[in-house]
Structure 1
Amino acid sequence: MSDYTTTRAFLEALAEGGVKYAFANLGSDHPALVETYAMARQQGFADTLPELIICPHESVAMSAAQGYAQVTGIPQAVLVHVECGTQNIGGMLHNAAKGRFGVLLYAGASPYTQEGELFGSRNEFIQWIQDVHDQRGIVRGYTKYDNEIRTGHNVKQLVHRALQLARSEPAGPVYLVGPREVMEADIPVQQGHPEQYSPVAPAALAPSVVEDIAGALSTAHAPVVVTSYLGKDPSAVPELVALCESLALPVIESVPMHLNFPADHPLHWGYQWNDQNHNPLLENADVVLVLGSDVPWIPTKNRPSAGARLFVVDTDPLKEQMPLWHVPAERFAMADLSTAVGQLRERIEREGVDRGLVEARLASATAEHERQRAEQVDRERPDGDTITPEYLVACVRDAIDDDTLVLSEAITNYPVVNQHLRRNRPGSLLGSGGGSLGWSAGAAIGAKLAAPERTVVSLIGDGTYLFGVPSSAQWVARRYGTPSLTVIFDNRGWKAPKMSTLSVRPDGVAASMDDFNVSFSPEADLPGIAEAAGGAWGRTVGVASELKGVLAEALEVVRGGRSAVLSVHVPEV
């Protein structure tokens, strides 16, 4: 055995490609990885490899890597055990894929020899059981790229290509597998050339598309912008603000997983989630520009009028991974959103606008913004001693600063968080990007590693908290010094299935009997899980008069270096 193996070259390539952390759940396919890290510490080359973050559950590892990428834009690595570990990251892989976040996922594979023909041959019974026909097929519906490492002689090429694909928009997860014999093999020292694998440069709109969209927006009487993830790139937010101010374009955020437009701006026209009502702001629009959105509206509930002119600009304008999707737009354009918005703004400034028309739009948009804000303020009062979700979010808003990084996984309270948290700083509010619950538990770890100077606060549901494997996540946070505050909207149940049932069968038997099978009775001690597993500060509060004081105490604990979990009793589901 030499000091240089395929595994060492693999880990070096990760570091060369900007991977600072490898979130790992180890198994029988990883002896070379364990040996390489031990050798690195012994021989003094540990700083050439990613730091290993041990995660007792794969979903925590995957969501932590995603959280880091969400804050920095740089993919990190997740190392898991063969096909079992691969399957355990399933839900979090969905989030990374649907949210378009780069993550490099690596799994070993069962050794392909069984008689000792090669070093690393099978020597444990589990290696026959874990040998499956198509391990890479497990994730192929969710990854941009998958490949097998067959030799160490080109392993750095494979890693750098995988990272290039993961970072190029639309970004997404990639998957590599390596059998034990290959990863254990001695090879000559490999040279990496990461500078040859830069992500694809941002794409711009064609001039004719710029003219079409800018012309429509300039002459419209009631235009509106709809966006969901433009703020994935924080630099795109001020570009959108500048464009909207030049034309008095109001903005609706539909299913937002990022801060896409400052909440306090007079052109902000609120949010859409699973609203089961018509939206007159959309219905009355004559031009709608969709800038980065998978679900700009729900066609059966709140679509624009049939006569509206619709335009779609997106890094993924046709949603190629969605079998059923359509927006009746007259133009679909693939472009980097910040670049496209800048092009539109430059064209508007160059050609000029009808100032009278713009001023009329601004007055109308500001009046609508102020009307919404007044309604929101009215809902921010507690109901006696009962803590309402609106009051809870208002208290959190008043307790944190603009620099705080907030992760939202509040599910049925998603709209409440957006409406009442009122974030204005780009990059300060993040969601999972997908529909698999439990992301925030690991994402808070990744976010804190990415921005150790910032306070991290997660606003989540009680079901979401349990999905996040809190015992594992809190242990990881304690071991690696990534404290955060978790605030739980504890309604002692699973409200989302109840709301889904009522939206389809409002007069059904379940509704008439209030029988939805969603209760979490008997109640679990949610903070107690974090106290036991991670040494966290924990508290449950159910009285409105106590909430502000307890929140202040929790934040002081977190800023002192210890995680905190606050379960807040809101009205029961």
Structure 2
Amino acid sequence: MYTTSSILLKSLADNGITHIFVNWGSDHPALLEDLQRQRKEGDGKTEPQIITCPNEMVALSAAQGFTQATGRPAAVIVHVDVGTQALAGAVHNVDRGRAPVLIYAGASPFSRLGEMKGSRNEWILSVQDVPDQPSIVRQYMRYTAQIPSGKVAAQVVNRALQIATSHPKGPVYLWARRETTEEEIDAALFNSGPSPRKWPAIEPTALSTAAAGTIATASPSSQSTSNRHLAHWPIPVIATCASAVAVPFSHPFFLGTTFLNGRTHTSRLAEADVIIVLDSDVPWIEGIQPPNEHARVFVIDSGDPLKTISSVGQWHVDAALICNADAALALSAIIAIVESSNISVDMIQQRAAELIASHKEWVHSLDVLEDTWPNGVPGDVRATLPNFLGVLRRTIAQLVPSGGLDKTLVVNEGITNYPLVWDHMRTEAPGMHITSGGSSLGWGLAAAIGASLGGRENYELIVGIIGDGSYLFGVPSSAFWIARRYQTPFLTIVINNGGWKAPKLSMLGCHLTGHGSLASSGVELSVGFGPDVPDYSQIAVAASAGWVWGKRIGTGEHGRNLQTEIDTAMAEAVRVVLEEKRCAVLDCVLDSF
């Protein structure tokens, strides 16, 4: 017997969805029944594969990590209104990160006298019936819809995924009443649904010829600020609030990553006569460090240049042109015009030499930070984050068997340390360094799980570099249980600086010399986790029933040399992940803020 639930699951599989991250509830009897039918008929297997997640935010974050790692959509199934709410901040992340994830939630039955299969037969079904369940997440979704009948379920799924995978990509939300999911469907309909091939995503948009010409001829000394793509002629490239690899670290015109904290915008903003903004939601903060007031600014965005679809409230960039175009296609068009123009070869060579020198100077400054270790009595001094990251990067280069860093995915949830992680991990290959793209903490652990499930053929090693606050937000008890259940080995580096540093920095940004500036510690400000901080590595060990290998390092206890301690622990942690195929967690202790 087939039901609407059969159609739903088949439609997801037909659309190329291979993994569904689920948190079951009383609205899912028909789904559970059909999955068991699949197991009986398919040698114990289901299509798509079901990943049980004891926490909804973890489920959605894992789905986001999966689609970031693979470029393919994923699905999440949650339970009525309460499960939808429990998706929590991950809803923000999949929206801002433009992750094509289909979320499905059941809804309480509308019948109460047993008139239909699925009618109310439990007390909980009445209290979970709310007037407008999709409104919980609607402002973050590209599309929301009810599945009204199994006869059109495949069409609803096809349309939802067509929208989710079109620029600007993002999440969609479907829901259905319990009676609908139990509706019996003829085998003929089950076997002859509409083909997803007839529901393609919108093709990327090219830049108009006029816009390409205007940008290409604006100035031979153009500047570029980019999140996701690379300009190919000698102008400086700065990654702002990066969520993916915009440019190889070693590119001679790349001058680093900024998350715009304080006055950390590139100083070149003040010098630029032309600025090209590529797929950047926040290229600068005008009230803190604006660009040259005479600069001509060109904004190119792959689908949402005014941030209306992603529902950003107040947003503005003073611009000469704002273009809705795929950044890669746009750059190709601009470059073609530049290469056919009569720009002075001497000027290009001079500019290239200056940028190469600036890049080398920047890389040298990173080397100095990594190789300068604190002096003092062991146990009384702490290593710096650049110390830890330098050791980690070199360890990976030595121990990852094929490709080293080019086969290592960095999942970066360093928050106040975002730019340090980007710069010191020195990522070269596209797709090998990601953040959530949003601001809701707790994405990193689950994203590593999703990336492992979907990208095993692409990665030799996955490393999550995660702040201690983000680690706790990530529900490690749930995340590491899932990691063991589905055998998704990854290394977690916990940046243990003793609490939530971001709120303190925000306070200082508004009250630099106020009362809070005189607080003796983060604990006094109520943003610290001390004096007795959790042992983050052992949380993971306990959650996995001992499967995870964990260790706290960087304390220099018992007179151990800090550098030797960290070198040894990093090597062992990487070995555990690579050879034993287990998760490893290193709780890396820094000076508390």
Please state which band the TM-score falls in when normalised by the shorter chain.
over 0.9
Where does residue 414 of structure 2 map in the other structure? Answer: 410
Deviations 1:194-244 (A, max 9, x none): 10111101100110000000111xx333x211012x2xxxxxx5xx2xx42
Where does residue 550 of structure 2 map in the other structure? Answer: 538
CA distance in 2, matches of 1:319, 1:358: 35
CA distance in 1, matches of 2:423, 2:581: 30
CA distance in 1, matches of 2:385, 2:82: 39
- Letter in structure 2 aligned against 1:300: G
Aligned length: 555
Where does residue 257 of structure 1 map in the other structure? Answer: 243
Deviations 1:20-75 (A, max 9, x none): 00100000001111111111111228666211100000111101111111011111
Picking from 167, 172, 196, the partner of 2:198 is: 196
CA distance in 1, matches of 2:200, 2:527: 48
Q: Is the 8 A contact 1:12 1:48 kept in 2?
A: no
- Letter in structure 2 aligned against 1:531: V
Deviations 1:109-158 (A, max 9, x none): 01111111111001111111111111000011100000001100010000
> Counterparts of 1:268-279 in structure 2 under 5 Å?
268-277=254-263, 279=266
Where does residue 303 of structure 1 map in the other structure? Answer: 290
Where does residue 533 of structure 2 map in the other structure? Answer: 523
Where does residue 337 of structure 2 map in the other structure? Answer: 347
Deviations 1:471-506 (A, max 9, x none): 101010101111111000101211111111111101
Is the counterpart of residue 283 in structure 1 residue 270 in structure 2?
yes
Where does residue 63 of structure 1 map in the other structure? Answer: 61
SS at 1:289's partner residue? strand
> Counterparts of 1:46-125 in structure 2 under 5 Å?
49-125=47-123
Q: Is the 8 A contact 1:16 1:192 kept in 2?
A: no
Deviates more, 1:490-499 or 1:150-159: 490-499
In the TM superposition, residue 349 of structure 1 has moved relative to its aligned partner by 2.2
Picking from 476, 486, 492, the partner of 1:480 is: 486
Picking from 496, 506, 509, the partner of 1:490 is: 496
- Letter in structure 1 aligned against 2:478: S
CA distance in 1, matches of 2:333, 2:43: 47
Q: Is the 8 A contact 2:499 2:527 kept in 1?
A: yes
In the TM superposition, residue 255 of structure 1 has moved relative to its aligned partner by 0.6
- Letter in structure 2 aligned against 1:495: K
Is the counterpart of residue 550 in structure 1 residue 569 in structure 2?
yes
Where does residue 391 of structure 1 map in the other structure? Answer: 387
Deviates more, 1:16-25 or 1:317-326: 317-326
Q: Is the 8 A contact 1:109 1:178 kept in 2?
A: yes
Where does residue 465 of structure 1 map in the other structure? Answer: 471
CA distance in 1, matches of 2:429, 2:382: 31
In the TM superposition, residue 280 of structure 1 has moved relative to its aligned partner by 2.0
Q: Is the 8 A contact 1:449 1:482 kept in 2?
A: yes
- Letter in structure 2 aligned against 1:362: A
- Letter in structure 1 aligned against 2:386: E
CA distance in 2, matches of 1:302, 1:101: 30
Picking from 427, 442, 448, the partner of 2:446 is: 442
In the TM superposition, residue 382 of structure 1 has moved relative to its aligned partner by 2.1
SS at 1:377's partner residue? helix
Deviates more, 1:161-170 or 1:44-53: 44-53
SS at 1:507's partner residue? coil
SS at 2:152's partner residue? helix
In the TM superposition, residue 250 of structure 1 has moved relative to its aligned partner by 1.1
SS at 2:89's partner residue? helix
Where does residue 559 of structure 2 map in the other structure? Answer: none
Q: Is the 8 A contact 1:37 1:46 kept in 2?
A: no
Is the counterpart of residue 365 in structure 1 residue 377 in structure 2?
no
CA distance in 1, matches of 2:274, 2:282: 17
Is the counterpart of residue 210 in structure 1 residue 212 in structure 2?
yes
CA distance in 1, matches of 2:335, 2:93: 32
Q: Is the 8 A contact 1:144 1:172 kept in 2?
A: yes
Q: Is the 8 A contact 1:165 1:171 kept in 2?
A: yes
SS at 1:11's partner residue? helix
In the TM superposition, residue 338 of structure 1 has moved relative to its aligned partner by 1.3
In the TM superposition, residue 374 of structure 1 has moved relative to its aligned partner by 2.0
In the TM superposition, residue 274 of structure 1 has moved relative to its aligned partner by 3.1
Deviates more, 1:20-29 or 1:493-502: 493-502
TM-score between both structures, scaled by the size of structure 2: 0.92
Where does residue 233 of structure 1 map in the other structure? Answer: none
TM-score between both structures, scaled by the size of structure 1: 0.95
Q: Is the 8 A contact 1:220 1:286 kept in 2?
A: no
- Letter in structure 2 aligned against 1:198: P
CA distance in 2, matches of 1:45, 1:344: 54
Picking from 305, 309, 328, the partner of 1:317 is: 305
In the TM superposition, residue 513 of structure 1 has moved relative to its aligned partner by 2.8
Deviates more, 1:270-279 or 1:529-538: 270-279
> Counterparts of 1:86-165 in structure 2 under 5 Å?
86-165=84-163
- Letter in structure 2 aligned against 1:43: E
Instruction: Give me the identity figure in percent.
Output: 42
Q: Is the 8 A contact 2:244 2:434 kept in 1?
A: yes
In the TM superposition, residue 351 of structure 1 has moved relative to its aligned partner by 3.1
Q: Is the 8 A contact 1:275 1:301 kept in 2?
A: no
Q: Is the 8 A contact 2:468 2:499 kept in 1?
A: yes
CA distance in 1, matches of 2:260, 2:213: 34
Q: Is the 8 A contact 1:272 1:297 kept in 2?
A: no
In the TM superposition, residue 525 of structure 1 has moved relative to its aligned partner by 1.6
Is the counterpart of residue 431 in structure 1 residue 417 in structure 2?
no
CA distance in 2, matches of 1:296, 1:83: 37
CA distance in 1, matches of 2:168, 2:330: 15
In the TM superposition, residue 516 of structure 1 has moved relative to its aligned partner by 1.7
SS at 2:482's partner residue? helix
SS at 1:288's partner residue? strand
Deviations 1:58-106 (A, max 9, x none): 1111011111110111111000000101011120111000011100000
CA distance in 1, matches of 2:329, 2:129: 47
CA distance in 2, matches of 1:192, 1:82: 27
In the TM superposition, residue 571 of structure 1 has moved relative to its aligned partner by 1.1
Where does residue 234 of structure 1 map in the other structure? Answer: none
Q: Is the 8 A contact 1:64 1:446 kept in 2?
A: yes
RMSD of equivalent CA atoms: 1.3
Where does residue 248 of structure 1 map in the other structure? Answer: 234
CA distance in 2, matches of 1:15, 1:460: 33
Picking from 346, 367, 379, the partner of 1:356 is: 346
Segments of 5+ residues of structure 2 without an aligned counterpart are 376-380, 397-403, 557-561
Where does residue 399 of structure 2 map in the other structure? Answer: none
CA distance in 2, matches of 1:47, 1:69: 22
Where does residue 583 of structure 2 map in the other structure? Answer: 563
In the TM superposition, residue 279 of structure 1 has moved relative to its aligned partner by 3.6
Q: Is the 8 A contact 2:240 2:260 kept in 1?
A: no
Q: Is the 8 A contact 2:148 2:180 kept in 1?
A: yes
In the TM superposition, residue 263 of structure 1 has moved relative to its aligned partner by 1.2
CA distance in 1, matches of 2:122, 2:7: 26
- Letter in structure 2 aligned against 1:318: L
CA distance in 2, matches of 1:382, 1:443: 32
- Letter in structure 1 aligned against 2:447: A
